[in-house]
Every structure is written in C-alpha cells, then in structure tokens.
Amino acid sequence: MLFVFSIILVLIIAVLLIQVRRKRNAQFMHIGWFVFLVPASLFVLLIRYLPSLADGHTYFTSMKWIPSFDIHLTFYLDGLSMLFGLLITGIGALVTLYSIYYLSTDESLKHFYTYLLLFMASMLGVVFSDNLMVLYVFWELTSISSFLLIAFWNQRKKSRQGAQKSMLITVSGGMSMLAGFLMLYVMSGTFSIREIISGISQYTDQGLFVPAMLLILLGAFTKSAQFPFHIWLPDAMEAPTPVSAYLHSATMVKAGIYLVARFTPIFGGEGTWFWLVGGIGLFTMFWGSFHAVRQTDLKALLAYSTVSQLGMIMSMFGIGSVALYMGYSAETAIYTQASFAALFHLVNHSTFKGALFMVVGIIDHRVGTRDIRKLGGLLKIMPVTFTITCIGSFSMAGLPPFNGFLSKEMFFTAALKISQFDVFSLETWGILFPTIAWTGSVFTFVYCMIIVFKTFFGPYQVEKLEHHGHEATIGMLLAPGVLALLVVGIFFFPNVLGKYILTPAMSSIYPSVPPSELTVPIAAFHGFNTELLMTFGIIALGIILYKFSRYWKGIYKLFPDNLSFNALYDVILDQLGKKANSMTNFYMTGYLRDYLVYIYLFLIIAAGGILIYTKAFLFEISGNSPVSLFEWIIAMVMMAAGIAIIFANSRLTAILLNSALGYGIAVLFVIFRAPDLALTQTIIETVTTVLFLVAYYFLPEWRRERGRSISKSVNLLISICVGVIFTVIALAVQNGKLFATISGFYENAEELAGGKNIVNTILGDFRAFDTMLEVVVLLIAGIGVYTFTKLKAKKEDERG
C-alpha cells in the first residue's frame, strides 16, 4: 500500500539526510528544497485517496512484526487518519517552504531537516497505525523527535530546559497511555483498534475499563497540553519558529486530540469520558485564553492561545461523546454535530495558527524582537504581514468572513445544547458550559486584538528594535499567505471540506451512525439566534476589556508565581536531582568491595528468601548420572584453585588461578559433549586472562588489606552465605520440575533451519531476537567502556 510506504520512505530520507556532507562555502542550493518535495508529494498522494474515502472506502494493510505477541505493522487509512495525514503533510510542506527562507545555511540544516522528517514520519505513523503497540512506538517517537527539534538551538539553556520539560511531561503521559493500552489488550485480547471497536459491547462493564480510559486520557492530555499539563507548551516556544508553527499548531499537540477522537467509539459511552474530556477541555480553553492576555512575548501569547484552542476542540469532542452515551437515535444525532464542529475547528485552527506563527517569525526575523512592549507601528513597513496577521487573528477571534467564525458558532451551538441536557443531573451545572465557553471567547477576542493592534498600530519605537525592519521576502510570505487564503477560502466554501474530509472522519468516530446523518451543512449566516448574539456580546465586551485593560490587568497579580504548576514542576525536578544525588553519593563509595557486598547481600536475600519461601530444600540425587573419575579430578583441581586464590600472594598468581578455574569448566564442557560451549569458554578465558595480565601489569604491588576485623568477619559471613546458597540451588534444581523438559525442543532444527548445530540454530534462527539484542547490548557496553577510559584519560590530560 502506497500510503504505508510513504512513512517508511520519509524515515529513509531522514536517515539519508544525516549522511549528507556539506562542502564548506559550496552551498549551491538550500537543502530544504529537497526536503520540501517529501511532504508535498505525500500530500498529493493522500489527496488522490480522497474521493474513494468520501464514498466510504477504507484502506488496510498489514505486515507481520512480532506475531507471537499479536503485534503487527498494521496501517489503516480511514477518514480520521486521512484528515490528520493531510494536516501533517500539508502544513509540513508549507512549514518546510517557510523554513527554507527562515533558517540560514549557517545552521546545521541537515540535523534540522532530519529531525523534522523523523517527526513527520512518526506523526504519520501515529495516525495510520491500527495496532496499539505500533501506535505507542510512533507516539514516543514524536516526543523524542520534538525534543530534538525544540532543543535545536541547544547552546541556549532555555531551549534545553524547554525540550526537557516537554519530553518529561509527554513521555510520562505516553507511558501511562501504554499501561492503558495493555489493559485494553487484557480485556479484549487484541491490539487492533478496529477489532476493539467492533467488539466494544463486551468490555464496557469490566473492571479495567475505566482505569484504561483514565490512563489513555492522561496520555492524550499531556500531549495536547491540557490543564494542568499545559505548562510545557509555552516553554517549547524556544524552538525555531518553523518548528513552533509545525509542532505546536498543526501536529504534535493534535496527537492527543487524534487519540481522543480515535478512542471516542470505545470510551465515548462512559459518563466519565464526557466529564473529563468536556470539562477539562473547557477549563483549559478558559485558562489558556485568560493567561494569553497577560503575555508580552508574541510567541508566548500564541502558545497560550494554542492551549486554549486545543481545549476548545477537546471540549467539543467531549460534548460529542454524549451521542454515544445516550445511544443512537434521531434526538442524539444532534450531539454528533459537536464532534463535527471539533474536526472543523481542528482544520481551521491549523490554518490560522500556522499562519500566525509564521507571521510572528517574520516579525522576529525582521525587527529582532517579539516583545509587544517594544513593537508598534509596523503597519507602514510591513503591509503584507499585517494583512496575513489580520486574517489569522480575526479568524481566531471568531469574526466573519473567516473560517474561525463558522466553527466558533458551532462550538456555541454545542455548548448551548449541552446545557439543556440533564442526564448527568446537569440542571444547575449545565449552564457552566456556555458561560465558560463565552468567557473564554471574550479573552480570545482580547488577545487577538492585542496581536493586531499592539504590533501594527501605535508609535513606531525604532530605538527599541534591534534592526530597522522592512517587508519580508516573497518566499517567506508564501507559506503564511497560502494559509491565509485557506482561512478565507474555507469560510466561503466550507461544505467542500465538510463533504470530502470531515464527513469521512465523522464516520470513523461514529461507526454505528449512517454517514448521511453525520454531515452537517455549514452556513455562514444562520439567523439571529443565541449564538450570533453571543458573538455580538463577545465583540462588545472584548473591545471594552481591550481598551481599559490597564484598569483590570491587576488581577493577574493575584496569581502568585510561586504557586503555579510551573513552580511545582521546577521544585519537583530540582528536588529529584538533589535527592537522587545525595542518595547516590551515600552508596557509591568508590570501593569495589562495597559494591560486591551490595550485590551479594541482594543475592542472599532474594535467592535465599525464595529458597526458604518455596521450601526448596529437597535434594533428590538418585536420578543423577554417575560421576566419573575424570570429573572428580577436574572438580578437585578447580576447588583447589578456588581455595588457593584466597591465599595468593601476587596478582599474577591470582589471575592464573582464576583462569585455571575457567579452563576447568571448559574441560567439563568437553567431557559433557558441549563442544560449542567449551570452545566459547576457552576463548573467553584466554582473552580475559590476557586482558587481566595487560591491565594488572601496571597496577601497584598487591597489598593485603588491613580492614577492621568486624568488616572482615562480615565479609566472610557473606561469602559463606553466597557459597551455601549456590550449592543449595545447584542441588535443589535437580528436584524442580516446574516445566516440561526442554530437551525435546528444536529436535527438528535441521529441517526447520537447515543447520546441524543446534546451539547455533537456536542463536541464529529460532531465538535470533535475543541474539540481536545481545549484540546491541554488547555494542553499548563497549561504547561505555571506551567512553569511560577516554574520559578518564582526557581529565588527566587537563589536570596535568
């Protein structure tokens, strides 16, 4: 399937890109042009699927990955994943186009675009995956790649901190989501989202159902920056502006919304789902818009506005889930319109917020600041930027003739509708929905006015700007211009979008409802109803609040800085580091013998405890094969060598005695006819002995330790205990028959794998995954040793 290979293709290009070596001063073309082709062609590819999706087709493809765990690379293209796929590739193409003009060739562009493509591929993976585990893998990949993108200017401390914050919050959310996925698997026995949806009626009353829902919601809320996890989003603004436009307007933050939409058919019937998604969404909308007004940095303002808008979309999905709660009927179909509005606003938000971020980037680029206290009067020098900003801001404020107006009216319809709905004993509380929605929208209006009027009107304070601005180049204006055109275009032709993109997506959210009832005709003018009156109210109150902002802005001082969630995060992080540090210092004494004591104590408690607990002291040795004379001799030699090590007087003797032990085991392997093991043991023993000799040759003379007699006797006790436990285990395992014998396994190795050496066929054919991971572990360990020795040598160099 073409759309699946697109993900793989993006990943491959990302990997190839890092290999590009740039000749100094030989830049003939911005690397971004090549990258631009990737999302652009993917966008065209996806567009070609649109008509057949509108007819109700879906596409499905599956490749085996780990069949024994029911994990397959299963990809699914339906209306919902299509909508997100178009956003990811479409906005991705525009952002790449914009970044070509935004980032200079002095930057490490290949890293930037590699991260960007990596991010794009993982986002596409998230929205196309049908298998929960694959979805999770891609989900965490988005966190990692966005971490790399946010910290792109990693020489800045704030970039690193912002990246760390976003990563910590989103990854921990992702982990709770993983736990939720596993619970779903326990209940349903499948990782496939479609299969879970089709069998949903069987799991709803299980005990794990609500915990799974809560954990998955936690993942969605952290990713989509819902209250109180929104604190990472403003800090993530340290990223280059194209990244902010892409990650924080169009894609990454919408992964959580995608998850909520995707899981609505599963959990939407729960009352808790409605309260959490709808309630938290609505509060986030208010909180974000309320705090956006106080920001002085344009980008921070946009970040808070994104938080608010995401909350708004989230709350609409919450309201839409009521349709599932009540069961399908003609009356409840009205609530599905809320989800339709959510999807519509999702698209609208991507267009206007993408444009706004890019415009802010242009302003920053041209005059060197984003601080609205320094900006002003830019209208004269940047008229095109002004036009785009106006379109974006007014659309966000919900004014006609821009697409934000349409979806905001639908949002009010949904909020009003839910207030009349009393199934959750909402008679008194229901009124909160339209009230909070309206209040939030007033603040939205205010900050939209701030963006336009504080930046472009008023006095032009040239002395406060870093450089004298002028209009941006056409290339830079191209991408936001296209988005601005979309903002206006959607307003005039909303039903094209509705028919081809939104309705198929609605069918994925409400699979049981016939698609014809899910289509909502969008009209620019819908009569003089409550919604329109609310809009007039917003404009009136908004203008008053904007004009007299200096009189009421004092209320922000009521929020002490040290009582915020940000402060909580800082304290947790700080304390975690300090506590971990003191804890580590406590037990990391630097003495190898202390570490051995910890290891052995743990072993004694764990292994000895289990032995006592399971009463495993039954020695049954009658079934053992007789011990031959040879074996006796070797065992005696090994024991003698072992005891002699304790009394050895020099390192050389100790090393040789130690290797005598090792070679003894090798000989035992030979006697027991395990040539492979014997060979390995011999070589390992040789290499390590040589290594020891090389390393110990340079160590100072062996000195007897003159420790205190108490610690000596404690050590003696520990070593005796370890010895006893190992002997007991060796004797007791003879007795244990917990599982059927494994000697019958892989007897057919030759016909299955074509190899006569069973050890090797196990390593290479039957359990190759273990071997592969071992190889990776070996590599990591090797790099670790190498770095340690290198680091030490370097430090000594610096010192002396």
How far is CA 363 from its chain centroid?
31
343 contacts: CB under 8 Å, gap ≥ 6? 83, 261, 502, 505, 506
Q: How far is CA 182 from the centre of its chain?
A: 17
Tell me the two tokens of residue 661. 């032990």
Per-residue interface string for the shown chain with other proteins, residues 436-475, x marking contact by CB under 8 A: ----------------------------------------
> Closest CB to other proteins among 64 and 712?
64
Q: Which one among 527, 698, 709, 797 touches other proteins, defined by CB under 8 A? A: 698
Q: Is 7 left (phi over 0), alpha (psi -120 to 50) or beta?
A: alpha
For other proteins, which stretch binds (CB under 8 A), given 227-235, 384-392, 592-600, 783-791?
Answer: 783-791
Residue 776 in the binding site for other proteins (CB under 8 A):
yes
Q: Which residues make Cβ contacts (< 8 Å) with residue 250, sequence separation at least 6?
A: 87, 88, 91, 92, 95, 350, 353, 354
Verify binding: residue 66, other proteins, rule CB under 8 A: yes
Buried b (16+ CB within 10 A) or exposed e, 512-530: ebebeebbbebeeeeeeee
> For other proteins, which is the closer residue by CB, 557 or 756?
756
Task: For other proteins, give the closer residue by CB, 44 or 768.
Answer: 768
Among 468, 676, 711, 716, binds other proteins (CB under 8 A): 676
How many angstroms separate the CA atoms of 163 and 239, rounded? 8
Q: Is residue 691 involved in binding other proteins (CB under 8 A)?
A: yes
- Among 48, 64, 547, 553, the residue binding other proteins under the rule CB under 8 A is 64
Size of the site for other proteins (CB under 8 A): 48
CB of 471 closer than 8 Å to CB of 385: yes
Q: Does 592 bind other proteins (CB under 8 A)?
A: no
d(CA 147, CA 119): 10
* Subset of 717-756 contacting other proteins (CB under 8 A): 753-756
Residue 59 backbone phi and psi in degrees, to 5: -120, 145
> Which residue, among 382, 371, 395, 539, has the nearest Cα to 454 in the 3D structure?
371
Using rule CB under 8 A, residue 401 touches other proteins: no
| Closest CA relative to residue 283, chosen from 255, 251, 310 | 310
Residue pair 746/761 in contact (Cβ under 8 Å)? The answer is: yes
Q: Which stretch binds other proteins (CB under 8 A): 17-25, 57-65, 288-296, 373-381?
A: 57-65
CB of residue 775 vs other proteins: minimum separation in angstroms?
A: 5
CB 237 within 8 A of CB 292: no
Q: Is 593 in the site for other proteins (CB under 8 A)?
A: no
Q: Give the one residue of 577, 609, 675, 736 binding other proteins; rule: CB under 8 A.
A: 675
**Phi, psi values for residue 147, rounded to 5°:** -60, -45
Q: Which stretch binds other proteins (CB under 8 A): 32-40, 130-138, 218-226, 686-694?
A: 686-694
Q: Does 765 bind other proteins (CB under 8 A)?
A: yes
Q: How many whole angstroms separate alpha carbon 483 and alpha carbon 475?
A: 14
The answer to whether residue 700 forms part of the interface with other proteins (CB under 8 A) is no
Nearer to other proteins, 73 or 414 (CB): 73
Question: Distance between CA atoms of 186 and 199, rounded to whole angstroms?
Answer: 14
Which two structure tokens, joined as six digits, stand for 755? Answer: 């190899």
* 775 binding other proteins? (CB under 8 A): yes
Minimum CB distance to other proteins, residue 3 (Å): 17
Minimum Å distance from CB 134 to other proteins? 12
Contact flag: residue 18 with other proteins (CB under 8 A): no
d(CA 383, CA 487): 18
**Distance in angstroms between the alpha carbons of the first and the last residue of the chain:** 62
Q: Give the integer Cα–Cα distance in Å for 367 and 465.
A: 6
Applying CB under 8 A, does 381 fall inside the site for other proteins?
Answer: no
Out of 683, 716, 720, 724, name the contact with other proteins by CB under 8 A: 683
11 binds other proteins (CB under 8 A): no
680 binds other proteins per the rule CB under 8 A: yes
Residue pair 200/510 in contact (Cβ under 8 Å)? The answer is no
For the record, the structure tokens of 385 come out as 């930027």
- Alpha-carbon torsion, ordered 482, 45, 78, 172, to 10 deg: -70
Q: Which of 18, 690, 717, 720 touches other proteins by CB under 8 A?
A: 690
Nearer to other proteins, 13 or 390 (CB): 13
Are 395 and 402 in contact, with CB atoms under 8 Å apart? yes
Q: Does 771 bind other proteins (CB under 8 A)?
A: yes
Rule CB under 8 A: is residue 606 a binding residue for other proteins?
A: no
Select from 181-189, 256-264, 296-304, 685-693 the region that touches other proteins (CB under 8 A).
685-693
Per CB under 8 A, does 757 bind other proteins? yes
CB of 212 to other proteins, least distance (A): 27
We find the least distance from the C-beta atom of residue 792 to other proteins, in angstroms, to be 7
Q: Which is nearer to other proteins, 594 or 770 (CB)?
A: 770
- Please tell me whether residue 567 binds other proteins under the rule CB under 8 A: no
Binding site for other proteins (CB under 8 A): 63-67, 73, 675-676, 678-680, 683-684, 686-687, 690-691, 694-695, 698, 753-757, 759-761, 763-765, 768-769, 771-772, 775-776, 778-779, 781-783, 785-786, 789-790, 792-793
